[in-house]
A and B are shown apart, each in its own frame.
Chain A
């Protein structure tokens, strides 16, 4: 069975600094997608970034980038130039052919002014 593990329940970062959130997963599939979602206090799930497993190039979206290590089954999120608005819960998620999402337990990110 597929699993997603986020080992950091909480992280803090100083405003304008860089922080990396960790995620590992386990699967026997070769074709899948990985995601990072942000959940602010409003509870609305917001897609931050997506990575297709067949793509070797790491995805980037403005200040957000990932380090995708397929062999190690690792998918970390780097947030550069952290802003106060980045404070939220961040969930790593996996999706394969059934389209079902499997979410990690989440990392609460605090941004310090």
Chain B
């Protein structure tokens, strides 16, 4: 199956700093990628839909100025958590959609963010 990678797999940062998380589709081109957030022992909550070459679409309640998404190429989307605070600590997962056939999505391995 298709492979999606995320980098870094985990990151610890100080409160007030910004953190960038990368999501890459390794063997296919993804016009659409999705960013999810998962708190401990909870489900995945969609944060935003990232479309190559256009602005991301954010879900209700997600601050677009805090969670900056850039989808500059067909294989890379980045999520930047700006001015991170301890409440932003979470597990962030991306997925990438194959734009044909079943439009199946493949998930990255996730990034654990800890803000001190």
**Cross-chain contact B34 with A101 (CB below 8 angstroms):** yes
User: Distance (Å) between the CB of A46 and the closest chain B CB?
Assistant: 8
User: Which residues 41-83 in B have Cβ within 8 Å of A in the complex?
Assistant: 42-46, 49
- When each residue 95-113 of chain A gets 1 if its CB lies under 8 Å from chain B and 0 otherwise, what string results? 1000111111110000000
**Cross-chain contact B43 with A105 (CB below 8 angstroms):** yes
Assess whether A55 is interfacial by the CB under 8 Å rule. no
Residue of A nearest to B107 (CB): A45
Assess whether B97 is interfacial by the CB under 8 Å rule. yes
- When each residue 101-115 of chain B gets 1 if its CB lies under 8 Å from chain A and 0 otherwise, what string results? 011110101101000
- What would 10 A/B residue contacts be, using CB atoms closer than 8 Å? A42-B109, A43-B93, A43-B110, A50-B102, A99-B32, A100-B34, A103-B45, A104-B43, A105-B43, A106-B42
